[in-house]
Each structure stands twice: as C-alpha cells, then as structure tokens.
Amino acid sequence: MLRLENISKVYPGVRALDDISIEFQDGEIHGVVGENGAGKSTLVEIVGGTIKPDRGAMELNGSVVAFSEPSEAKAKGIAVVHQHFQSALGLSVTENVLLGSPQLSKGLVNWRDAHKQAEAIFADLGVLIDVRLPMRALKPAQQKFVEIGRAIYGAASVILLDEPTAALDGEDSDRLFAAMRLLSQRGIAVAYVSHRLEEVMTLTDRVSVLRDGHLIGTWPTEELGLDTLITHMVGRELSSFFSDHPEPRPTTVLDVRGATIGDRVHQVDLQVCEGQIVGLAGLLGSGREDLAKAIFGAVRLSEGTIFVDGLQVQLRSPVDAVRAGIAYVPGNRQEEGLVPTMDVGENLTLASLRDLRRHFLVDRAREEETSKSFVERLRIVATSIAQPIETLSGGNQQKVLVARWLATMPRVVILNEPTQGIDVGAKAEIHQLISELAATGLAILILSSDLLELLTMADHILVMNEGRVEASLPRAEATQEKVIEAATGHTAASGASPWATKC
C-alpha cells in the first residue's frame, strides 16, 4: 500500500500540487483523474522519484520512503509507466524489459535466460511479442506493453500508469485493461491516471479527482456517475461555459484541399469561415498536429493546396505562413513557444519583429507601445513588459503567446492545446479571449485533447483518426461519445464522402 500524505509541489507561477493525501491500496485499481494541468503528471513524477515534493511524505507498506532518483523508487517496488514512450528504440524487447535491472549491469548476461524471463512476462500479460525484435520494429501498442513489462519486471507492489491508452485503439486498450485487472488480482496496487472518463468508470475501484493541484476527493467508483465525475473535475456545470461568440459569417477564410503528408495525413479537406471556431479532435498520432503544422508551413505537404481568402498560398516555411496571415500558437508552451531568457515584451514581439524594424534597428519605442497595448488588451498580469517571461503564471504566458500572433495581424489563428497546463480561472479567460477573437472575424482552428473545451468552444468539430477525417460534426450534433468513437475509429456512420463546414 502506498500512502501520500500532504504532498505539495510549487513551480514558478503555478502551484502544481497543494496538500495532496491519497491512499493506493493493495489489489485495487485506483483512478486518478483531472483536466490538463490539474497536477496528475506532477503526482506521477513524485511517486516515481523523478522529482521531489516540496513538502509531505510517502509511506510504502508502513515505512516512510523518499526518493531522489527513479531507480530508488523502482528498487522499492514502485513502477511507473509514463505517458510518453521511454524506450531505447535500437535495443531488443528483452533489453528494454531488463533496462535498469541489476541483471543487465552485473558481469556477463545470460541472454537465453533473459529472453525467457521477458517471454514469461508477456505470456503472463496475455500478449504476443517477439522479445528478440528491436523495439522500433514494434507497433505503438506493443511498445506500451513492453514498458508495462519493464515496470512489472522484478517485484512491483505499486504500478502507476500515466495515460497509457493515449496512443492505443479500442482493442489494444481492452487488452491493456485485462492486464491491469490481472495485476490488481495479484495484490498489486494499480494507479490509473487518465482523463478518459469512460475508461475510468468501467475499470477502476476507486477514483481520486484532482483540480488545479488540489485533491477534490476520493470516492468508490460505483458511487459516482459520469456527470458527477465531470462536475468534480471541471468544478462547474458544463452548460455554464459555452462560447457565446456570434454566428460565423458566410465567407471562407481558410480553405485546405486534399492535404496529404506522407503516410501520416491523407486527403484532408478543411474550411474555416470568418468568425468561425473549428475544433480538431483526435488522439495522439491521429495526424492532427501534423495537419495544423502543415497549414502553418512547419511541415511540408506532399499533396494538397491551401487558400487564404481565396488566394492560393505556397508555404515552404512558417515565414511564408506569417506573410499569408496564418498564425500558430504551439501546443507545448515550454518547448515550442516561450523564449525563456527573454522578457514579456521581447517574447510578445518575436513574430512581428520585421514590422517593428527601422532599417536594421528594432524601433524600441514602437515595440514598447505594441507590447503595452496587448498586455492591456489581453489583461496579461505582469509587473511590466520587462518582467522575465518565466516568472509569469502559465495562463499569462499563454496570453503572451496569443498576443505574439495577434501582433502579426493574422486572418487565421491556429491554437494547439490552448489551455494545457493552466489553471481553471485562466482557462476561462483564454476561452473568453478566443470567443472575442472569433467575434472580430478571425478564422480560428483549435486543436485540443480536452473534449469539453472543443464541445463548448467550437462551431464545428472535425475528428481525425489515422490521418483521415473520421467525422465532421456541427455543434448541435457533437457529443462526447460521438467524438471519442470517431477518434478511435469506431464510427458507425463513417463514410468516405466529402463534407464541408457550413458558413
């Protein structure tokens, strides 16, 4: 049994976990749910020994434990399967399973023995994998199972899975769930971290809900309905936050035809009208992000044409996209958005710098004027435009990135995961901002893993699966179930027929 007591963790600008106490009991499957940014990942990292909590303690089977490295957690029998793949792709399955175990680092390795052990693990989980194959030869679902195999190799007493089904289809998910049930029957404490609520409802014995770094509560799953779970998660009724932007105008701004990117995206058509918000849903690897980046020139189209305001545009790089009036607010703020060493003003003007230049020099007076006007207009909370960007809260950082693009006077704004990792209050503000932008006549394309966000913001939702548009749903017809079904390729009425959004 693993007990967390009063765990807290603070990052610059965000309280990731605030006084969390949870008990993962032996033999139970314990769901941990929450929106993006609720603190789930921080929790996983603390339990797995990747980061240390600022305050609080962990108790494993009655004795207090503290880890300064993942290997220490693993040695105590705590196994973590991370959301993103963490495997050595060039090594064999067996090597990946034994990665980090003393067997691989002490003296000679008895490979026949090692392969046998790995095979036994997969036989146990009920999956068929050739353990001699290199990891990269495996399908994503198989790779996930190898990571689970690594987690349970040795004597795990607690296993944490962080969004394990993000890259899996329905059938593989079922196989994974069967394996999880098997582990719990053996007395292992299984923690299942996810924002897929249907899965949590059917699979788990108890559920803990996190919101904004706080633990809202822990309940036996059977006492909860899906509606109550959602309310606990988002903290308010779903109906209270529908976007209230006016009806789109009947002018097509962005028109994408037959977009194909290698074997990742196939023949996608997409239109966004003036003042319209189109949502793009899909799982990891659905081609969603590739498509968005291609519309922004950051990924090359192998086939297809893009029109902005009726004129065809050639996008060889984002430089061309900026000229064509297309803006892209990236999904991963830290990796693709912020320039960490610069201040608010410098981050804000990065995309519009060429308009702020006089000869070779940056016109500082105009730069300051631009920055200040956006800080005011988007209600960015900063002491001054000279404040280091890193010291802003996640929500305000996101606003700076949106402002970076508004300063280029775009026609089309693509927002990738616009509210990932920011707290609920800031989220509402960003949603309000997006509605306002739509009202000014911008064409807006939102990519989001947050279904509620898409359902409440978008006039129209496209669902991608395996590089194709699987469903096209006007707001009135879109439901959580339909989107999930299409995203996992299980649409009953899936047709190859072309469709169009109506302006």
Cβ distance to another protein smaller for residue 132 or 357: 357
* Residue nearer to another protein on the CB measure, 155 or 361: 361
Which residue, among 161, 168, 118, 179, has the nearest Cα to 140 in the 3D structure? 168
How far apart are CB 9 and another protein at their closest, in Å?
A: 11
Of 113-121, 131-139, 176-184, 352-360, which part binds another protein (CB under 8 A)? 352-360
CB 442 within 8 A of CB 283: no
Minimal distance, residue 491 CB to another protein, in Å:
32
Site of tokens 């007493």: 157
Q: How far apart are CA 153 and CA 119, in angstroms?
A: 11
Instruction: Establish if 12 lies at the interface with another protein (CB under 8 A).
Output: yes
Residue 114 or 392 with smaller CB distance to another protein:
392
Please identify which residue in 88, 104, 226, 353 interacts with another protein, judged by CB under 8 A. Answer: 353
Q: Which is nearer to another protein, 12 or 246 (CB)?
A: 12
CA–CA separation, 291 and 296 (whole Å): 9
How far apart CA 241 and CA 245 sit, in angstroms, is 12
Q: Closest separation between CB of residue 17 and another protein, Å?
A: 15
Alpha helices in 153-209 (DSSP H): 170-185, 197-203
Between residues 215 and 321, which has the closer beta carbon with respect to another protein?
321
Q: Which residues contact 271 (CB under 8 A, 6 or more apart)?
A: 252, 254, 255, 256, 278, 500, 501, 503
Closest separation between CB of residue 279 and another protein, Å?
Answer: 21
Tell me whether residue 14 or residue 188 sits nearer to another protein (CB atom).
14
Q: Is 342 in the site for another protein (CB under 8 A)?
A: yes
Q: CB of residue 325 vs another protein: minimum separation in angstroms?
A: 11
Task: Work out how close the CB of 329 gets to another protein at its nearest, in angstroms, rounded to a whole number.
Answer: 9
CB 52 within 8 A of CB 46: yes
Of the candidate residues 292, 338, 483, 487, the single one contacting another protein (CB under 8 A): 338
Interacting residue with another protein among 82, 404, 460, 482 (CB under 8 A): 404
Q: Is the Cβ–Cβ distance between 125 and 156 less than 8 Å?
A: no
Residue labelled with tokens 């469903």 = 471
Q: Which of 87, 96, 271, 408 binds another protein (CB under 8 A)?
A: 408
374 with 403: CB under 8 angstroms? yes
Strands 214-220 and 158-162: unpaired
Please give the biggest Cα pair distance in the chain: 72
Q: From the CB of residue 62, how many other CB atoms can be counted at a distance below 10 Å? A: 7
Q: What are the tokens at 103?
A: 């067997």
Report the residue number, 233 or 351, with the smaller CB distance to another protein. 351
Under the binding rule (CB under 8 A), the answer on residue 362 touching another protein is yes
Nearest to 247 by CA among 276, 207, 284: 276
User: How crowded is the C-beta side of 193, counted as CA atoms within 13 Å?
Assistant: 23
What distance in Å separates the CA atoms of residue 179 and residue 151, rounded to the nearest whole number? 13
Using CB under 8 A, which of 236, 354, 377, 379 touches another protein? 354
The residue (of 77 and 331) whose beta carbon lies closer to another protein is 331
Angle between helices 394-406 and 424-439 (to 10 degrees): 20
Two tokens, residue 31: 């769901």
Minimum CB distance to another protein, residue 240 (Å): 34
Alpha-carbon distance 15 to 409, whole Å? 34
Range 272-331, binding another protein (CB under 8 A): 296, 298, 317-319, 321-322, 328, 330
CB of 446 to another protein, least distance (A): 17
Q: At what angle do helices 394-406 and 364-377 cross, to 10 degrees?
A: 120
Complex with another protein: residue 120 or 319, whichever CB lies closer: 319
Of 321 and 451, which CB lies nearer to another protein in the complex structure? Answer: 321
CB 276 within 8 A of CB 500: no
Residues 383-402 that bind another protein (CB under 8 A): 388, 390-391
Applying CB under 8 A, does 360 fall inside the site for another protein? yes
CA neighbor of 175 nearest in space, from 136, 128, 121: 128
Minimum CB separation of residue 477 from another protein in Å reads 33
- Indicate whether 10 belongs to the interface with another protein (CB under 8 A): yes
Determine the size of the site formed for another protein (CB under 8 A): 36
Minimum distance from residue 107 beta carbon to another protein (Å)? 35
CB of 391 to another protein, least distance (A): 5
Residues 187-246 that bind another protein (CB under 8 A): none
Residue 342 CB, shortest distance to another protein, in Å, is: 7
Structural tokens at position 495: 């047709």
Which residues of the shown chain bind another protein in the complex (CB under 8 A)? 10-12, 296, 298, 317-319, 321-322, 328, 330, 335-342, 346, 350-351, 353-354, 356-357, 360-362, 364, 388, 390-391, 404, 408
